[in-house]
Structure 1
Amino acid sequence: MTAQLSFPHVNHEMFVENVSIADIAAQVATPFYCYSQTAIETNYTNYQQAFSEQDALICYAVKANSNQGVLATLAKMGSGADVVSMGEIRRAIAAGIPANKIVYSGVAKTAEEIHYALRQGILQFNVESEPELELISEVATALNITAAVAFRINPDVCAQTHAKISTGKAENKFGVPISKARIAYNRAAELPGIKVQGVDVHIGSQLTNLAPFEEAYQRIATLVTDLRADGHDISVIDVGGGLGITYQDEVLPSKQDYANIVKAQLNHLGCKIIIEPGRSLLGNAGVLVSSVVFVKQGEEREFLILDAGMNDLIRPSMYDAYHGIVAVSQKDKSLNTYDIVGPVCETGDTFAKSRQIHQSKAGDLVAIMSAGAYGSVMSSTYNTRMLAPEVMVKGEQFSVVRARPNYDDVINADTIPQWL
């Protein structure tokens, strides 16, 4: 589902489901994030249907968007969660996701986090290193609890995506090299408090080509066969996430095509399959709505200066990421070319250069598209700017699912030393 389908223009005015974006802006004020619950549900259903012939569990990657409204929506549909911190475990459980549907990833799990996860009874630790394995064993033994584990395997496969979101090459910090996997599993089998049950792989994010998945899963299938020959009872394969979305003009494989690759490469092993989608569930289900503060004529170009900045959506600054930007109201407007920038005191606070959108003036609304994943969740109060609120829409209803803080909330979080 593309952002344009979820956020159509009706009579030249942008809507989310049956609610006018302009009406939300009048009540909430800009900037704000806006999510379509129906789009989230549709994306999740598409995964369910694609994997319906396999023994599969969908574990939403919470890091993509951890809002409680989002998590509760997915929990009601039966989703599990892929988490990378104790905070995300707490969020998932608070939203109604059962602990026995939670897999815990992440490269730097602490003893406190492991202790908490074990006490909750999570489904599986995706172990990133042998030192982490040793720590899990130590904590589990102290608690007299058995920890179910899978090693995250680095298959040394190029995901053909942005370097900062590629995770499956030998040079990346993630996982155990596939060349050392059998040694790691043999060590795990020797440790107290450890139950070896699975293999995990995740090669990156925003993949638009199935070939890297196919190559990685082929290598994982061979590894599972070898591990079973070594005496390990491998019953779970976590295939990770990473399926991309359309930001601009990307041509994507369907979720069914992706599921077919998983089935073709792994079905013969008889394992439970865990899928960890994040971006592909939320990315095009959300937009960032902003107001034009000024239109500034520079020496060589015209600037559209917004009230949303890089602190609200950092992806263009961090990843040189493309996001579509459209005028919320397009009636009786011609196209014009702008550099579209924010108010933050950084040259990098730029959303787009030489971008054509409908002509805009101060006070007009624009929507930054495909911002449902890795948008609000990565935002900050840099420049002491308030976090943008988040809004969820269902049919003709909308609700603020995270309110904008006030200045007292932010400033009073600091403490002045008593000697001052």
Structure 2
Amino acid sequence: MSVFTYRNGVLHAEDVALPAIADAVGTPFYCYSHAALTAAYRSYADAFEGQDAAVCYAVKANSNLAVIRTFADLGAGADVVSEGEMRRALAAGVPAERIVFSGVGKTRGEMRAALEAGIHQINVESVPELEALSEVATSMGVEAPIAIRVNPDVDAGTHAKIATGKKENKFGIDWDHAREVYGRAAALPGLAPLGIAVHIGSQLTDLAPFRAAYERVVELLHALRADGIDIRRLDLGGGLGIRYREESPPDLTAYAGMVRSITGNLGCRVTLEPGRSLVGNAGILVARVIFVKQGLHRRFLIVDAAMNDLIRPTLYDAYHAIVPVREPGPNPDIAPIDVVGPVCESGDTFALQRPLPAMGADELVAFHSAGAYGAVMSSTYNTRPLAPEVLVRGDAFAVVRPRPSIEAMLAAERMPDWLA
């Protein structure tokens, strides 16, 4: 489902023309579609209908409160990796009993906050974390419901910076030590080891790595039950890819069928933690052309968005489709051009020699598939204000995070007495 389409020669988000938003909020800006968010969630819910499965949205993909609230209203839980994300989920209306707290480096303060909130589960990733959580829970007089994240040593075949399930990655308990660590968890006070968690990476477009990881998890489950540990929950993580360019993401019905075939007879509640696949193609970044620069050897399309707004191309060499907001006429003149931002870094480059129709100063361009890991990873580098975020529903739009003024950015800092 694409909600970003040309109508009468102008790119729209649902029923709203993008130039109208640009006139109201300026550029660059992020734009999300309520219809696309809803359709993505319902695709998961429909695929897993009839299974004992919960969808907990991975907040790190896009932590805007309105986005989280959209999913919460549809029945989603939340997968969080910090106290801040947990508080965002709660503020957006996700019930505590639908929140899972993941992450490799939780502080004792975060553990306490999670237990005070009464969340569904804490996913533990190391023996020191087990021991710290035991101390915190015991001091509070409560029992922490936990799953232990295991590292199945499965190569997800994805980008090295988003692979999380191989033995050299920092995440989870090494497969060979998992059974021993569960025994340690069962012996510690204040802990209730109820589940097994696994997450092997992001932007996966093949079901085979998932199957390999889940089959290893089931093998561990049977061993733990034989040890007398009552495993009732399986947290299968997220990682399903989306289409940025020519990828062929797995069909959700096929994915759900695979999960059912492996886990369906175990008597366990399954938790799924999609992020990118819920929000990635529900958002775009809109920018304005500042200049077209003709160099000696190549041309540059300089736009007012930069690497601080969308870092994925710089960080991951990621591809985002780039299109003019005004639809080109028939048989447009297509030529290669570098699409770059104004930040003083050579890495501030969105695309090299991208074939694009001719565009001029002040024209609008849209970067597709920017709903995941776009605004949430942005910064104020070069003292550039964060781009506003806009949510569209039908023919209406609302600013769900305004652009801060430079004055507000400066006012947030303090001068020491000896410089005042």
Q: TM class, shorter-chain normalised?
A: over 0.9
Q: 2: distance between equivalents of 1:270 and 1:358?
A: 56
1:295 aligns with 2:292: yes
Deviation at 1:13, TM superposition (A): 1.1
Q: 1: distance between equivalents of 2:77 and 2:110?
A: 19
Deviation at 1:10, TM superposition (A): 1.5
Deviation at 1:330, TM superposition (A): 1.8
Structure 2 unpaired stretches of 5+ = none
Match for residue 372 of structure 1?
371
Deviation at 1:264, TM superposition (A): 1.2
SS in 1 for 2:202: coil
Match for residue 242 of structure 1?
239
Deviation at 1:253, TM superposition (A): 1.3
Q: 1:286 aligns with which of 283, 286, 291?
A: 283
Q: 1: distance between equivalents of 2:27 and 2:396?
A: 19
CA contact (8 A) 1:330 1:358 kept: no
Q: Deviations over 1:134-160 (max 9, x none)?
A: 111100011111100000010000000
TM-score normalised per structure 2: 0.98
Q: Deviations over 1:149-174 (max 9, x none)?
A: 00001000000000000000000000
Deviation at 1:192, TM superposition (A): 0.7
CA contact (8 A) 1:99 1:120 kept: yes
Deviation at 1:32, TM superposition (A): 0.1
Q: 2: distance between equivalents of 1:317 and 1:132?
A: 33
Q: 2: distance between equivalents of 1:38 and 1:145?
A: 41
CA contact (8 A) 1:150 1:199 kept: yes
Structure 1 unpaired stretches of 5+ = none
Q: 1: distance between equivalents of 2:342 and 2:265?
A: 55
1:328 aligns with 2:336: no
Match for residue 417 of structure 1?
416
1:93 aligns with 2:90: yes
1:310 aligns with 2:307: yes
Q: 2: distance between equivalents of 1:26 and 1:335?
A: 28
SS in 1 for 2:359: coil
SS in 1 for 2:222: helix
SS in 1 for 2:229: coil
CA contact (8 A) 1:198 1:238 kept: yes
My pick for the range that moved more, 406-415 or 384-393, is 406-415
Q: 2: distance between equivalents of 1:53 and 1:356?
A: 46
Match for residue 41 of structure 1?
38
Q: 2: distance between equivalents of 1:138 and 1:409?
A: 42
Query: Residues 375-414 of structure 1: matches in 2 within 5 Å?
Result: 375-414=374-413
Match for residue 201 of structure 1?
198
Deviation at 1:45, TM superposition (A): 0.1
Q: 1: distance between equivalents of 2:169 and 2:315?
A: 18
Q: 2: distance between equivalents of 1:419 and 1:11?
A: 61
Name the amino acid aligned to 2:230: D
Deviation at 1:320, TM superposition (A): 0.3
Q: 2: distance between equivalents of 1:79 and 1:369?
A: 25
1:267 aligns with 2:264: yes
Q: 2: distance between equivalents of 1:37 and 1:187?
A: 45
Deviation at 1:251, TM superposition (A): 1.1
Q: 1: distance between equivalents of 2:348 and 2:217?
A: 41
How many aligned residue pairs are there? 417
Deviation at 1:408, TM superposition (A): 1.5
SS in 1 for 2:156: coil
Q: 1: distance between equivalents of 2:297 and 2:242?
A: 34
Name the amino acid aligned to 1:84: V
Q: 1: distance between equivalents of 2:357 and 2:256?
A: 39
Q: 2: distance between equivalents of 1:367 and 1:395?
A: 19
Q: 1: distance between equivalents of 2:241 and 2:374?
A: 15
Name the amino acid aligned to 1:207: L
Q: 1:21 aligns with which of 18, 21, 42?
A: 18
Match for residue 137 of structure 1?
134
Deviation at 1:331, TM superposition (A): 3.8
Q: 1: distance between equivalents of 2:116 and 2:88?
A: 16
Match for residue 218 of structure 2?
221
Deviation at 1:196, TM superposition (A): 0.8
Name the amino acid aligned to 1:131: P
CA contact (8 A) 2:43 2:252 kept: yes
CA contact (8 A) 1:6 1:284 kept: no
Deviation at 1:267, TM superposition (A): 1.2
Query: Residues 1-20 of structure 1: matches in 2 within 5 Å?
Result: 1=1, 5-20=2-17
Deviation at 1:63, TM superposition (A): 0.1
SS in 1 for 2:209: helix
Q: Deviations over 1:57-109 (max 9, x none)?
A: 00000000000110110010010000000000000000000010000000110
Q: Deviations over 1:161-198 (max 9, x none)?
A: 00000000000000001111111000001111100100
Deviation at 1:6, TM superposition (A): 2.0
1:115 aligns with 2:112: yes
Q: Identity of counterpart residues, as a percentage?
A: 57
Q: 1: distance between equivalents of 2:140 and 2:249?
A: 46
SS in 1 for 2:356: strand
Q: 2: distance between equivalents of 1:10 and 1:194?
A: 57
Q: 1: distance between equivalents of 2:250 and 2:107?
A: 38
Q: CA RMSD in A?
A: 0.8
Q: 1: distance between equivalents of 2:34 and 2:347?
A: 32
